[in-house]
Amino acid sequence: MKVVVDIEKCTGHARCNVAAPAFYELDSDGYNVIRERDVTSGDESAAREGALACPERAITIIE
């Protein structure tokens, strides 16, 4: 499983980070710093919760 973030869609709401702070890091302006990241089994719930929290649908989970 991996996460892909479309930075063109990311508008810096930071909701991914609020939902899963240990997984979704933000830059100093509140934008997601992840572009593509493999997800270990222990991080799957956090990755999904953060993706669901994104109002821009900028985060895609690839199984």
* Footprint on this chain of ligand SF4 (rule: CB under 6 A): 5, 10-16, 31-32, 53-54, 56, 58-59
Of the pair 11, 45, the CB lying nearest ligand SF4 is at 11
Of the pair 12, 21, the CB lying nearest ligand SF4 is at 12
Minimum distance between the CB of residue 32 and ligand SF4, rounded to whole angstroms? 4
d(CA 12, CA 8): 11
Q: Are 47 and 23 in contact (CB under 8 A)?
A: yes
Minimum distance between the CB of residue 38 and ligand SF4, rounded to whole angstroms? 17
**Distance set, CA 34 to CA 26, 61 (Å):** 8, 13
Q: In the 8-state DSSP scheme, what is residue 33?
A: -
